Structure 1
Amino acid sequence: MPVFMVRLKDEQELVGFFSIDSEFGGEDLFWTVDEVTNPYACEACELPNPGGVLFLGRASKVPVHWVEEEVDDPKQAELAAQSNHENIKQLFVGATLSETWSNQVINFDHDSKLKWLDVGKMKQG
């Protein structure tokens, strides 16, 4: 399963890291990015394998505590959603990238062989 680093084209702001099913290729990436932002505004590059996100010190326990959001009281539902969002954010405190991935991010404009692909052009049809 290839992993792509996705950024906004104009701002070059990181959107995220996405693993896609190679059977569906770029269209799978298009729709996954579409869940969080406009895929037409993004570009992606495939990261080398092996690689990943690492926790070199103390890490969060998994699974994280999840608060039920399907409640009748809108105020309680909002508090639950905020709590869940915070729990997910805390999951990645202290995270870093593996050497193979961080070398690509740090050296991207210098000697990287990775190429940026237009995510918007990955949609079929």
Structure 2
Amino acid sequence: PTLALAAEADVTFVGIGDLGPKAPLYEDGFISEAELKSLQKAGGIAEIVGWVFDREGRMIDGITNDRVSSAALPSRERSLVIALAMGERKLPGILAAVNRRLVNGLITDERTATALLGA
């Protein structure tokens, strides 16, 4: 029922987590250090609700994406998917998510917005 309800949302707010040494997925215990390194080796740079993607915004095949239990990102054609993200270490992930249209809205701070416009 929860996943079905999430799929019907008109607006979804998500965060973008980086996959650096202090990746939230790792620090919060969702993935092991070995899995973090495997994701990085596969090109993973960021995640949205646990779904890991690369610099081009493409989802990483396998590894931890095979077991993500969070809702899939809703259709950006039918709803708003707004990311809330800021900071230098998140820039590659924000760029990938915006360029690949994983999200169609962004709330950030002025410093991050300036860096994104300069990229």
TM over 0.5: no
Query: How high is the TM-score relative to the length of structure 2?
Result: 0.21
From the CA coordinates, give the structure whose radius of gyration is larger. Answer: 1
TM-score, with length taken from structure 1 = 0.21
